[in-house]
Structure 1
Amino acid sequence: MRATVRGVAIASAVLLAVVVAAGVWVWSSGGADTPSAGPPKTLRIITWNICGEAGGERGQSGYCPLRDRPEKKAAKIAALARERDADVITLQEVCGGAPGSHVALLRAALGPGWSVRHAEGARPDGETRCRDGLSGDLGVAVAVRGEIVRARSENALPPDPQGVSEQTLPVLCVRVEGWTYTPCTTHILPGEEPRVREQIAAVRAFVRAQGRPAVLTGDFNRNAGAAQLAPLVSSYAICPAAGGSGRGAATYHAWDPQERAHRFHALDHIFFDSPQGVRDPLVDCRVGEDLMDTTPNEPGGPGPDGYSDHAPVYADIRTGS
């Protein structure tokens, strides 16, 4: 399995060690400028597929708003973190590992006290570099308000049995100094091909192998009721608790050019282990639909009214009594 972790240290952080074992890169580093104040009693999480590398021109199937403005996306994520008083931010379709990338810009925007890690994945053509002048490599990222002492990542997507696609999709987990929970994120392949189930099984096994209570976030490319997600739904509590294609639970918007119709789906979720002794761990669970572009994707159409074709999902999880 191809496995890569691209670590990004905050400010004057010093990389201490890199260990490679069993096909997984492990980074140990001092990530934050200020020491962790201890585990948060309530873990405030944001997950967002920012479609940072997809598409370009209005009317194209892969169009995404502000794809060519990484600084605007990074600034909005940081502002959202302050607004939500977030402890964890996880991102999909994000460029990292180079100056000027989303991750580098976000690191600067978040400021002292935050640690960020990035894990790269490859497009179907096998390339990892972000296109059209964007800096860095495509992948997923985790930012935490604290010191990351270990990050692990591996590609969870099995090889294409037809040998056509060289795509890789990582799962990334980080351990934070003083925290009980391990934040993780991933991006699941869309569609119905059999290796989707294999990828989901691999993600679950990887997260469980961390040996700690986990929060698993990401773009799962299907609603919570999909049969393919059953291994996760049966293992974890979930936010949003109800998936489906209804407008009220939408985390993703697509424009159907043939029908000239909007399509809304709930594809992005936060799975988490319920802590022992906590009766109602989910304090808050909501979708930031106001940040999702819902305009018709047509040539010459109106400017976008959001930052991504996905909306961020917020969850506040009580981690202890």
Structure 2
Amino acid sequence: MLKPPFGNNIESVSTGEDIFDMVDFEAAFVEREMAGSLSDLNEVKSEWQNLGCPKYKAEDELLAYSVNALIREFDPENKGKLFQTRFYKLLFLLSDGLKDEGIDLKLPYFWYKHGPVVPYFLLPLDNIEMIVSTWKKFSGKFFVIAKPRSFNIQNAIKDVIDNSICNLRDQYNYSTTKTIINDVYLKAPHEFQRKYKNFYKHIEHKLCERDKLAYLKQPLKETEDIKRLEEAVNLFEEIRFPQVYNDLLQWRLIVKYSMNELERIDPEFMKCLADIFWSNLFSRYLQVQEYENMPEAMIKSWKKQLPQTHKSYRREFRKFEYKFYSDVYKPANCIDDSTRRAYNECIKPLLK
């Protein structure tokens, strides 16, 4: 008897329903975003250290109070129950919401690969502390705790901040991290960001579940993914990112035709191809446009790196193009494999 690629228990999928109705593929997306957020944070910390850690701290008293109050509201006993990444995203939502009340916390952050990055080393660190979890389930993960101190702020402003934090608690205290991430992306400055993330999470999950779908004789519905891709590209703001627009169109062309071969394409190649424009190029330009209260030395350093970053991206993308035309693309009048290999060897030096 043929054993299904996902185990023996197939009663839950024997109805022929779409597997995406039964498998929470959002969970994989959330895990990747949370891990990616920490990766983004570690990346900027390393860059900050390479700059020699110029003397810069967000000293705003309203920010210091808000950080402390947020931790105590979500962890009243201050025992380290608030995950580091969850804390940053809640702090971003708090800061964004308070702007509508006319209060600017002067929170340092920038938009990057996995959402807004709040560099903790720029926060007022005299009233918070990072601790490593001692629970086996969360081994190696960091939590935040508050350290006692007094704050010199007006009572009226304090009340507004406290009310906003209470609203966050009511909304998110028992919510999944997925809800917080989705709500944070609603604040993304460009619609392209949201549409791209939606496109990528579907592609990633289909590639991971491809064998299951094949066993269940369910179609991959590539046309839906192509539609998601086109929606994202059509919303791209060329006027804001003119430097990368041609790269976007070249990337779209290769991705679009690769998705037509979703049933047989190398999944790692496809995932990397779908990600390369976002992670290796667009996010680099995004971070120097969409930021607040970041040290000027950091922004100058990022801008200085852009020409080399762009050159490196194009070099890497040429490798994907070569792989695509070598192994994926099949024109209507296909040439035989030996001629194809000979042709590929001829053009390979041109792609270096």
TM over 0.5: no
The two structures have a TM-score, normalised by structure 2, of 0.24
Greater fraction strand = 1
The two structures have a TM-score, normalised by structure 1, of 0.25
